[in-house]
Structure formats: C-alpha cells, structure tokens
A and B are shown apart, each in its own frame.
Chain A
Amino acid sequence: MNSVELTVNTRAVKRDVEPRTSLADLMRDTLDLTGTHLGCEHGVCGACTILVDGVPTRSCITYAVACDGADVTTIEGLDDDEIATELRAAFTREHALQCGYCTPGMLVSARDLVKRLPDADEKQIRIGMSGNLCRCTGYVGIVRAVQSVITERRARDIAPEPDGGRKVLGPAGSGHKACVSSQKLMPAQPAVSEPAAAVAPLDIPDFTPSTTLEQKFTVAHAPAKVFALFDDIAAVASCLPGATLVGTPRPERVEGAIRVKIGPISANFNGAARVERDEANLSGRILGIGSDQRSRSTTQGEIRYRLVPQDDGAATRVELSIGYSLTGMLAQVGRSGLVRDLAGRLVAEFAGNLDRRLSGDVTSAPSAAADLNGVSLILGLLRERATNVVRRLTGRGGSA
C-alpha cells in the first residue's frame, strides 16, 4: 500500500492505495465520488475525464500514486463553478444529454474548451470535444451548448486562456511530491501467485492453419542426411529464436517453450510438438501447440517439409510449408489477416537458418537460448499481432 495525498474538490484527503489503483477508482470506490464514470478503461471514451491540476486528464489510465500531491476536481466539485453552471444551463436548453453517462466527462472537457477556444467555431469545438464519446445525442446539442457558452462569454469580454491555465511543464499531476528518497512499494499480494506454469497440452491436435507460407531452398547434401537432420527436433528448434526444449525430445512428443517479447508485451508459450515422418516420400511435418497463460493465448504451428533429390542425389531441394494460427487475447486485437510480406520475410529467415544449419554452419544459426528480440516464423506472427495490439491502443502519440 502507498499513501497518497490529494486535494479533491478543495478538500485535503490522504488515502492508502495500491500502486495499480487508477485515479478514477480512487475517486469512485474510496472517496465515493461516483460522478466520474468508467466507459472503456483504456483512455478512449473520455467518460472518466476529470481535472488534475486544473486541466482535463484521463483518470482511468492515470494511477493515483503518480498524482501524489496533485489538485483534483471531479464533476462533484464543479457545482458552483461559473463555467460549469453556464454549461449546465446550455446543456439542458440544447438537450445535450440523454442517458447522462458521458455527461460528467463531457462537461469537464467542455469547460476546458470554453476556457481555451478563442471563438465558437463549430469545427474547432468538434475537434476539441473529439476525446469524449457520446452514444446518445449525435453531439448536436453538445456542440450547440458549447458554442453558445463560448459566444456568450466572449460577448462579455471574457478572454480565452489558450493554455487552459497551466503554466508548468510535465504531465498534469506530476511533480508535487518530488520525493527525497526512492520508495519501493510492494503490491498487496503477489501478481499471479502460482505463476504461469501452463499445463502442457495433453495432445497435439491437427489444425487448419489460418496462414500458410511456402519456402524452397536447395542444399548441397544428400536427401538422407537432410532427412536425418529434420528428425533432430533440437536442431530444428534451434532455428526458432527464443525456443527452449525441456526433457528428452521424443518424436511423438517434445516439450518446450517459446518466449516472445514485443515492445512492452512479453509472452511465454509453453507447449509441445510432435514429429511425423514419411520415409518413403522423404517428407514429414512438425506440429506444435503452445499456450501463454497470462494472455490466455494459444498458438499452433506446423512445419511441413518435403525433400526432393537434386543432381542425382548429391543435393536436396527442401520444400517448406509453414502454417500457424493464434487464438486468445493476443489474437483478439488488430486486423484480421497478416501482412504477408512481413511473414514471408520471417519465413525466409527461418528457412535461411535451416539452410545454414543443414549446410553445417551451426555458428551462424541463432542459438536455442532465448534471444528475446529475435525473429522466427511463429514469433513473426505474434509480433505482428502484438504490434497491432499495442499500436491500436497507443498509436495516438501517447507516451509509455
């Protein structure tokens, strides 16, 4: 627990909070100021907008500990505020609210806009209010209400404040308690107490890959030698950066994990693979499945290979067909489909590693030890998906 001191609606408050407690939850759950609403909890809808040090802030993605010492005003603190009073009259007159859920955040943002905008330009008002979603009104009444208050105030010679009254640099809410000593605050309880030891799957099912990529290359070795190498699961795994094997690999079951790190997200897919081979046709496949417990995501992949003798058996053409699917939270954000050229490049890289390995160039292949930023086929897929996760959430220029 961490003690946080704030001025909330002109009242000094001091509360113990977990570091993970958002400013919104502190207001709602601890201080019972329930006028601050949660609409998305990822900083998009604007329902949680409150004033921190006098300027609008997303209270759902701002942690209370990060605002230690700050001045906070919620909708409840705007009862007697002059601009808010004018806005409430205009909102009622223009029918700028229906269900009223977005309204507190809407009023907080509108109040800021009224202060800052020089005149009641409709387009500027719409842009200025674009961080607050309303599902009921179509914004008609809201825009008209804000327009009317700006017009009236400017007519009364009340000058705009383009900076909204903020004079200091840095994130709103920051810098009040520039602490003299570092403080390490432990969470109330350990994160996931029995961590992430996802149960290795009982079986390794067949599946239809959502994406399949082909790759071909020729190596100067006899098919039999190449075929033998494909039977060496550890060798194949060593071409997958971030892959580690546990236990003794057997063709029908090899267990291991692949660690993936993409930006701030890391996932650890624990799973198993099995190997099938068809000696007569010099072909086979490696089929695997792995799960990341924390994101409840599962990936399945298969590597199909076929060896074609070249140069009277002196060389071998390796035909790879690599397919994969992803389910769970990491799959559930982003565009459907995958940028094929990126995946293609990754497959090429994997094939290149195999090629070098088959050619005996073990040193240049990536080691099996986790190279967290490395790439592989499956990693590539995850990278793409996870990139979308992150980008969708944050590609608005926000800060990490």
Chain B
Amino acid sequence: MKPAPFAYERPRDVASALAAMAGDGVVKVMAGGQSLGPMLNLRLVAPDTIVDITGLAELKHVEVAGEELVIGACVTHADIEDGRIPDVTRGAMQRVASAIAYRAVRNRGTIGGSLSHADPSADWVSTFAALCATLSLRSAKGARLVAMKDFMLGALESVLQPGEMLEAVRVPVMSPSARWGYVKSCRKTGEFAHAIGAVLIDPEAGRARVVIGAVEAAPIIVDNAEELFGGRITNDFKSRFDARVADTLLSKAGMSDAADRHIHVTILRRAVAEAAA
C-alpha cells in the first residue's frame, strides 16, 4: 500500500506556494498530511505534485487582532489542545481539539488542512461555524474573507478555487456571557463523527447559533436559533429546547431517515444541555 509517485515541492513563502500550485498537472497542497496521507497510500489520490506548506512561517503565525484570534492554517490540533496559542473561546477550542482523532494525528494534523478538506464529519467544520469564524483565503489574485458558514458547499466541496489556499482562521473572542456546547457521536474514541451538535448560546444577548454537523453534506447552520427554543433565547434555554422543531429542520434539510434524525436531534439536545451545565 504505497502511493503512486509524486513530485514534491517545499516552497519558501506563500507567494511561491501559490506559484507552485499553478504548476502543471494535478497539484495538491499538503499540510500535516493526516487526511491526504491515507488516500495517497491507498492510491485513491495520485497527484503529480505535492506542495508541502508546513515550512511556511506565515502559516504558523498566531495573533490576537482586535476582537479576533487569527490562527495560521498550519497550526495543529495539538497546538490548540496544549494551549500553545492564546485562548479566546474560554477553553472551547481546546476541548474540541483534544478529542480529534488521536494524539499522534493531532501532532501533525492542522486546522487549515482539515477545513480545506471540507469533510462534513471533521470537528473544525462545525466548531468554527458555531464560533462565527471567518476564513482568510489567498490566491495569486489576492486575499478574500469567507465566513465559515459560507465556506462549505457540500461533502468535500468548499468555495476554495483552484490556485487558492486557506491562509488563516479568524475566531471572534467569545463573549463572557456566551455558553458553549459541543457533542459528537462516534462509534469509537477518535473515529469519525456520525453526528455533531455545536451551539453557542448567549442568553444575555438573546442570541443562539446552532450547528448540526456530520450530516454527509455541509453542516446545517441556524444563525438565529430562537425557533429551536420556543421563540426566544433566555437563561432557561435548556428546558425550552424543542426537539420537534429540530426534527422538522432536519426533515426540511432532506434527512429522510428517521433514525438519522433521531441521532442528530439527540446529539443537539445534549450539546444544548452541555451549554447549560
């Protein structure tokens, strides 16, 4: 189980990485390689060239800029888990990071790689959507910002254009009154999620953002989730959570299997309960 041959480039900076991405044949960007590696080994993917961006210092840069934490795309799950970057989410990202796959995978897997891969089951896809993060994308034409909620088009499909790479994730500082809940359902520790519920509920502001993830498509994002809580977001949001509304939401989103809906609603209810705890 060895990959088909590929050429390898390790560019000096983002500009040369973008130039390399415009090279001949099929070019794949690789960061930690924890998703691409298995597919290369299985020969499901056989690019002509791999562009390794993990040497780029710009992509490992982290800073708090105003009300946002800007995290370079090549920051790893373990970097977040271990607190090597500032915490603006009161531990939420740290907890999510610590439950991604396994430690050895987290030591190389990156947030940028995970998001670029656009796997619906990946934790950051749902987490960043719920945290109202913005993604900074860069191509030879320049940079653009895309809200995480608009990034995914479907399973393994994002708005990333050919020749464009994810440069950084911008995570807003979480408000002190906001409550966070994140629950996923996996058959085994570290395995991919069958259902994800991510909620950011701010009873003081009367706002809630709800994400139903791992739905085999782009996550279902409810920006103004009052309807899930009987019309308004208050401190008793846990008891106000209306599973029937969630079920209807999933039906409308095309989830026709009752067991699937049951699982997702259950996980969402538990995420809400975690936020209330």
**A247 adjacent to chain B (CB < 8 Å):** no
Contact of B121 among A18, A56, A266, A391 (CB under 8 A): A391
**A399–B114 contact, CB under 8 A?**
yes
Given contacts A41-B41, A183-B10, A187-B6, contact A131 B102 (CB under 8 A): yes
Q: Using an 8 Å CB-CB cutoff, how does the interface string of A58-87 with B read, 1 for contact, 0 for none?
A: 101111011010000000000000000000
Interface residue SS majority, chain B? loop
Which of these binds chain A: B71-79, B138-146, B171-179, B198-206?
A: B71-79
**A202 adjacent to chain B (CB < 8 Å):** no
Q: Shortest Cβ distance from A259 into chain B, in angstroms?
A: 12
Given contacts A43-B38, A399-B34, contact A184 B44 (CB under 8 A): no
**Interface range on chain B: under 10, 10 to 19, 20 to 34, or 35 or more?**
35 or more
**B91 adjacent to chain A (CB < 8 Å):** no
**A175–B54 contact, CB under 8 A?**
yes
| Residues of A contacting B114 in the complex (Cβ-Cβ under 8 angstroms) | 397-400
**B65 adjacent to chain A (CB < 8 Å):** no
**B82–A383 contact, CB under 8 A?**
no
Q: How many interface residues does A have (CB within 8 Å)?
A: 89
**A135 adjacent to chain B (CB < 8 Å):** no
**A171–B74 contact, CB under 8 A?**
yes
**B249 adjacent to chain A (CB < 8 Å):** no
| Residues of B contacting A266 in the complex (Cβ-Cβ under 8 angstroms) | 26
Which of these binds chain B: A280-288, A339-347, A361-369?
A: A339-347
Q: Shortest Cβ distance from B86 into chain A, in angstroms?
A: 12
Q: Shortest Cβ distance from B34 into chain A, in angstroms?
A: 3
Which of these binds chain A: B103-111, B232-240, B265-273?
A: B103-111
**A213 adjacent to chain B (CB < 8 Å):** no
List CB contacts (< 8 Å) of A353-400 with chain B. Answer: 373, 383, 387, 389-400
Contact of A400 among B9, B103, B117, B120 (CB under 8 A): B117
Contact of A265 among B45, B52, B256 (CB under 8 A): B45
Residue of B nearest to A388 (CB): B216
| Residues of A contacting B35 in the complex (Cβ-Cβ under 8 angstroms) | 390, 393-394, 398-400
Which of these binds chain B: A149-157, A188-196, A230-238, A271-279?
A: A188-196
Contact of A397 among B28, B77, B256 (CB under 8 A): B77
**B42–A42 contact, CB under 8 A?**
yes
CA distance A43 to B83 in the complex (A): 25
Q: Shortest Cβ distance from B88 into chain A, in angstroms?
A: 16
29 A-B residue pairings within 8 Å (CB atoms)? A19-B5, A20-B6, A20-B40, A22-B37, A41-B41, A56-B104, A126-B189, A166-B78, A169-B72, A171-B33, A171-B54, A172-B107, A178-B57, A179-B10, A184-B7, A191-B4, A263-B118, A264-B45, A295-B43, A342-B217, A395-B121, A395-B122, A396-B101, A396-B121, A396-B191, A397-B109, A397-B122, A400-B28, A400-B31
Residues of B within 8 A of A (CB): 1-12, 16, 19-20, 26, 28-50, 52, 54-57, 59-60, 62, 72, 74-79, 82-85, 100-105, 107-114, 116-124, 155-157, 188-193, 214, 216-217, 254-257
